[in-house]
Amino acid sequence: MKFFFALTFSFLFLFSCEFPKQPDIEDMKTAPISTYYLIRHAEKDRSNPAERDPELTEEGAARAVRWAQLFRDITFDEIYTTDYKRTRQTAHTVSVQSEVKLTPYDANRPYSEDFQERTTGKTVLVVGHSNTTPAFVNAIIGEERFSDLPDDDNGSLFIVTKVGNESTVQHLHVD
């Protein structure tokens, strides 16, 4: 009798519990895939500390060309930069190569609802700064995983892939 009671109780307990909903494979098949490539601007001219909007150095211009070479086989739908010369100059060659115009974004509002709507299902390049690039990645993935980049880090590349509400991120360093 005790066995029957234990079996019945276990059976009722098992079927009265709510298990977490597993992702629906069919939903995953039809969810749009968004891919974000996020980089910091290339090396900037530091000769005048009072200059708030410096241009790239020769080394920075060379890095911008290397970014374009790295991205040559990627078809970007959108390219976003902050409204600074160094971010626009870093993205310029990629923009010309991809035939995609540069669109400014507000670094104080990364991954806004409007940005999400415009970029869902697309392949996007975002060029920012040592603080805005990791913050943007964190906003996309919904967690505070990355901190500001060191000031001499102009080679970090974040690749975020978002399928529905799930996201993965890779952090690479390109010299």
Using the predicted structure, report yes or no on whether residue 14 has a pLDDT greater than 90: no
Mean pLDDT of the chain: 88
Question: Which residue is it, tokens 């952090």?
Answer: 171
Using the predicted structure, report yes or no on whether residue 91 has a pLDDT greater than 80: yes
Q: Which residues pair with 105 in a beta bridge?
A: none
| Residue 150: alpha-carbon gap to chain centroid | 18
Give the pLDDT band of residue 125 (cuts 50, 70, 90).
very high
Domains, the chain, ordered by start: 36-44+51-173 (3.40.50.1240)
3-class SS shares of the chain: helix, strand, coil, % to 5: 35, 20, 40
Using the predicted structure, report yes or no on whether residue 1 has a pLDDT greater than 70: no
For the chain, what is the largest distance between any 2 Cα atoms, rounded to a whole number of angstroms? 88
Q: How far apart are CA 139 and CA 146, in angstroms?
A: 10
What mean pLDDT comes out for the span 40-51? Answer: 97
Is residue 90 within 8 Å of 79, Cβ to Cβ? no
